[in-house]
Structure 1
Amino acid sequence: MATAKVPLSDLISLVSDPCRVDPRGSYPNLGIYSFARGVFGKPPIDGAQTSATTLYRVRSGQFIYSRLFAFEGAYAIVPAEMDGVFVSNEYPTFEVDQDHLLPRYLYWLFQRRDVWRQVAVGAKGMGDRRQRVHPDKVLSYRIDLPSLGDQHRIVEKLDRVAALVDERRNAIEAAERETQALLLKAFQRAIDGAPLRPMAEVAPLVRREVEIEATREYTEIGVRSFYNGIFHRRTMPGSEFSWQSLFWVKEGDLVFSNLMAWEKAIAVAEAHDEGTVGNHRMLTCEVNPKLATPGFLMAYFRTYEGFSSIVGHSPGTIARNKTLSSKKLPTILVPTPPVETQKWFDRLRAKTQEAHAIRANTAQDVESLIPAMLHEIFNGGAKAA
């Protein structure tokens, strides 16, 4: 189906509905999410507090964008519930000629990353991706313009699939929440009445000092915040490490970043971490197999109670100075039910992780569906459903 390619200036027009700011007034305000995720309500602008002398009223169905963040997709259509709210002059607003262009069609067109890039750099390929995008660049952008009937069919198809994607995404998130709730309940059952023992007994801090050889290569680890695991920072010859102390990491170690433990930088070393090294900031605890399993202790430190014990043993009043003390860590008390109970919980947790991986893959497939459809529909000219 052949379509005419026309500049947006033939289809949308820059509009302005200025309103003089009254110091006694309060003005509902909106912002625009990056990556074409729509608009959001911001706190009202207090006329007595703002430095702006003029604000601009927007209306439902108008096309709007952020000059500063257009390069990363801050484009949207004003929804009905935001009709009449106000923005600054950093948000150019356009009326859409709905006799020729559906606002929802324009919305879907601007879901595409290649469109943001093309608009940001302009027709001649000039410009900085972080440079404010002038309305002239938007207006000069040329689009394929199918008939209104074809636009309706394209919009209906994309909206229908988007609703199914949302439904599936919500189902995946609900299943994940339910699984985590059941896992926490199982953990609480496992520790009910269990004796508390200090980390010094259950998983003592160990320092396996490395005798650094200048020509040998060593892989240094770090621990990501928010329980996101161990990462390999760098691999370098020993000559590059000669100024510091290094310590061997073994599979099964419970590893704490003493600088970032307050931000949940806690992890269990896996098989591929065996033989890596950590600096003095990495606190490695070797779990006593007669008393605990690494996975069970990690599960405890992911609970509110367990993480609170970490924060409580990290002196300091400012976040970045809340260092987990190597002297205090061994004194933290942890629950120690029978090891067989801990292994039962570990097996249960492994099953939930398998389910999580399946859901994550499904979610990735679901999220890739809309971009694939947009590519199919808009590349080389829009096509009817």
Structure 2
Amino acid sequence: MGWPLVRLGEVAEQVSRGEPPVTGTDYRLLGVRLWGQGAYERETIDGSETKYATLYRVETGDIVVNKIWARNGSVAVVGPDLHGTFGSSEFPTFQTNNARLLPDWFRLFTLTKDLWDQCDSFSRGTSGQNRLRPAKFLEIQIPLPPLAEQQRIVARLDRVAGLVRARAEAAAAMEADLQAMLAKAFARCIDAAPRRPMAEVAPLIRRPVEIEPDGAYPELGVRSFGRGTFHKPVLPGSEVGTKKLFEIAPGDLLFNIVFAWEGAVAIAQPADTGRVGSHRFLTCVPEPATATADFLLFYFQTPEGLQRLGEASPGGAGRNRTLGLKKLETIEVPLPPLETQRWFDRLQAKARQIRDIRAASARDTDALIPALLHQVFGAGDRAA
């Protein structure tokens, strides 16, 4: 834009509002998210619960820096909701000269790759502990238009950001309505429907893979919470060892036995052709005249279905909860007429189309603010 680059130390200075913590007094502690995503309230503690001899109060408009993670964009401007919160000495605070630099202008700058790269270049220390010293932070250069121009651009981008947030909130509300509609339709479909065990409805099918030392075996993974499959790196045959691998075919109802209890169930897609899984991935194939994979998958994502998977996965939390094969085979699933299942699958397909359209629109919308930041600051922003 042709604006002059100004050293931050010319338009801001470090401030210190230190207070020794007092037992019996509550202190709201501040945190700073990465990549310019702002500050937040971490927790409230009693003065006796901190190891720091001094806590530092922040005020609205302050710039706060996380010394260790500044190189990853952990820099923020304090909003009114965080006025009066506290940070440790790891969070140095700076105050701008509002006659030359608006705090909100710097807030926009925290979203740019230019700032992150400068913080990274000034950070020093051992690996994982590359701190940014306050004096070095003040060496950062920032594009500085006239105050009126700062105000105009901030107002424009904040207005656009508000529209983007409103759109995201509306999309979330529509998604909730869509999911509620599907849940009600599914409940009608299975009302009074007979139930049969998975061993009869969708028996386990194993397709052992013969391992060649010079072979390559691309693995498939299953995300939790019904978020589908994903591709793992290719596993060289020489590294398979004693692990058994099994072929996965499109249309398989696939269970990750370690995390099935939290919805790690998916249908293998055409793009997953040729992928393999270890013994931890169970492939069930619905009987074509009895059930559809889409219908069964929806059931296993309902509260009842997740409860059944949880009951079939004994043990403690996390990796200690493993879905038992025999227990999976005994889970009784609702089985309305095949045509009813196919009707519901068509309803799901329409819902997926709507979601795909929304997702494409959301990607375009999400790119709007970064594009505007790039236009304003020139140096660009971090790709999402």
Shorter-chain TM-score tier:
over 0.9
Calculate the TM-score normalised by the size of structure 1. Answer: 0.92
Aligned CA distance change for structure 1 residues 272 and 367 (closer, same or farther; 3 Å): closer
Secondary structure of the equivalent of 1:194? coil
Alignment of 1:272-291 (within 5 A): 272-291=271-290
Aligned CA distance change for structure 1 residues 50 and 235 (closer, same or farther; 3 Å): closer
After superposition, the C-alpha distances for 1:235-258 in whole angstroms (9 at most, x for unaligned) are 456565473433332222111122
Amino acid across the alignment from 1:348: L
* C-alpha separation in 2, matches of 1:305 and 1:349: 19
Residue 77 (structure 2) aligns with: 77
Secondary structure of the equivalent of 1:76? strand
Unaligned runs of 5+ in 1: none
* C-alpha separation in 1, matches of 2:165 and 2:66: 26
* C-alpha separation in 2, matches of 1:235 and 1:331: 34
Aligned CA distance change for structure 1 residues 183 and 152 (closer, same or farther; 3 Å): same
Unaligned runs of 5+ in 2: none
Q: Is the 8 A contact 1:71 1:129 kept in 2?
A: no
In terms of mean alpha carbon deviation, does 315-324 or 229-238 score higher?
A: 229-238
Residue 53 (structure 1) aligns with: 53
After superposition, the C-alpha distances for 1:296-327 in whole angstroms (9 at most, x for unaligned) are 00000011110110110011123211111111
User: Identity of counterpart residues, as a percentage?
Assistant: 44
Q: Is the 8 A contact 2:35 2:110 kept in 1?
A: no
Q: How many residues align?
A: 380
* C-alpha separation in 2, matches of 1:113 and 1:58: 25
In terms of mean alpha carbon deviation, does 155-164 or 337-346 score higher?
A: 155-164
Secondary structure of the equivalent of 1:206? coil
After superposition, the C-alpha distances for 1:173-210 in whole angstroms (9 at most, x for unaligned) are 22112111111111111111111110011111122333
In terms of mean alpha carbon deviation, does 273-282 or 137-146 score higher?
A: 273-282
* C-alpha separation in 2, matches of 1:307 and 1:263: 7
1:277 positional shift: 2.9
Residue 257 (structure 1) aligns with: 256
Aligned CA distance change for structure 1 residues 75 and 213 (closer, same or farther; 3 Å): closer
* C-alpha separation in 1, matches of 2:296 and 2:302: 10
Secondary structure of the equivalent of 2:325? coil
Amino acid across the alignment from 2:57: R
In terms of mean alpha carbon deviation, does 308-317 or 166-175 score higher?
A: 166-175
In terms of mean alpha carbon deviation, does 227-236 or 179-188 score higher?
A: 227-236
Aligned CA distance change for structure 1 residues 336 and 380 (closer, same or farther; 3 Å): closer
Q: Would you say 1:333 and 2:332 are equivalent positions?
A: yes
Q: Would you say 1:302 and 2:287 are equivalent positions?
A: no
Amino acid across the alignment from 1:154: I
Secondary structure of the equivalent of 1:328? helix
* C-alpha separation in 2, matches of 1:308 and 1:369: 41
Amino acid across the alignment from 1:198: P
Q: Would you say 1:163 and 2:162 are equivalent positions?
A: yes
* C-alpha separation in 2, matches of 1:380 and 1:295: 46
